[in-house]
Chain A
Amino acid sequence: EDQVTQSPEALRLQEGESSSLNCSYTVSGLRGLFWYRQDPGKGPEFLFTLYSAGEEKEKERLKATLTKKESFLHITAPKPEDSATYLCAVRGGAQKLVFGQGTRLTINP
């Protein structure tokens, strides 16, 4: 059974303090690993898709990386507007998207 575990559950950083969020996964035949950002009371907003180990993608202060067992979302010099819950999901051979429980990120000014 495909599984996704995100850590930490919650993370508080000061503005400008870089850090990383972890997404560990087990999947049969990875067809994509996805990162979403979700603001309170809103739907998830798509950020990245990664397909193979070694792949990296960047968008503004965010960079996502992928290995065979985990993915990291690196946040460089974050700002308060980066505060949100970040969701990781995988799609395997069964074609279903399986989500982790998310990491709630708070950036203090």
Chain B
Amino acid sequence: DGGITQSPKYLFRKEGQNVTLSCEQNLNHDAMYWYRQDPGQGLRLIYYSQIVNDFQKGDIAEGYSVSREKKESFPLTVTSAQKNPTAFYLCASTQAGGNTIYFGEGSWLTVV
């Protein structure tokens, strides 16, 4: 089935550790995005990439990093510099020139 796969679904991290969330899509979409969702708040854009080997900061990029070495993959690293990393993270993608963004199932990150 075509879609966006995020892993792991649940992740626990100790303070001071970096963690990487995986996002893979087989929709042949050019653009990929990472959003963060906190309870009672709208989705906030962390990073986005419109083509391979290029990405831009969103509204809340501090404490996060990404890479886009392959069209299908856009991993997000939550670094120890992110002060409040516990949240629900959503990966999304869209076609080149397309307007509608499609989402993966999300990853829960909890700092313990």
Do A and B share a complex? Answer: yes
Q: Which residues of A contact B (CB under 8 A)?
A: 4, 9, 31-32, 34, 36, 41-46, 49, 87, 89, 91, 96-102
A41 contact from B41, B44, B101, B106, Cβ within 8 A: B106
Taking the closest CB of chain B, its distance from the CB of A64, in whole angstroms, is: 13
Please determine whether A102 and B42 come into contact, CB atoms closer than 8 angstroms.
Answer: yes
Would you call B40 and A101 a contact (CB within 8 A)?
A: yes
Chain A: CB-nearest residue to B108? A41
Are B99 and A31 touching (Cβ within 8 A)?
A: yes
Residues on the B chain within 8 Å of A99, using CB: 42-44
Residues in A with CB closer than 8 Å to B6 are 43
CB distance from B12 to the nearest CB of A (A): 16
Determine whether the beta carbon of B106 is less than 8 Å from that of A49: no
> Does B104 sit at the interface, judged by CB under 8 A?
yes
Asked if residues B42 and A42 are in contact (CB atoms below 8 Å), the reply is: no
B interface residue numbers (CB < 8 A to A): 4, 6, 33, 40-45, 58, 88, 90, 92, 99-106, 108
Tell me whether A43 and B42 are in contact (CB under 8 A): no
Q: Which of A4, A46, A102 contacts B102 (CB 8 A)?
A: A46
How many A-B contacts if CB must be within 8 Å? 49
Q: Is the CB of B45 within 8 A of A43?
A: no
Least Cβ–Cβ distance between B78 and chain A, in angstroms: 18
Q: A57 vs B79: C-alpha distance in the bound complex, in angstroms?
A: 42
Closest to A48 in B: B100
User: Known contacts being A34-B100, A42-B106, is A96 close to B45, with CB within 8 Å?
Assistant: yes
Report B-chain residues with C-beta under 8 Å of the C-beta of A32. Answer: 99-100
Q: How far is the CB of A90 from chain B (nearest CB, A)?
A: 11
Chain A residues with CB under 8 A of B103: 36, 43-46
The 4 closest A-B pairs by CB, nearest first: A43-B103, A99-B42, A99-B43, A101-B42
Of A31, A36, A43, which one neighbours B104 at CB under 8 angstroms? A43
For the complex, give the distance between the alpha carbons of A49 and B41 in Å: 21
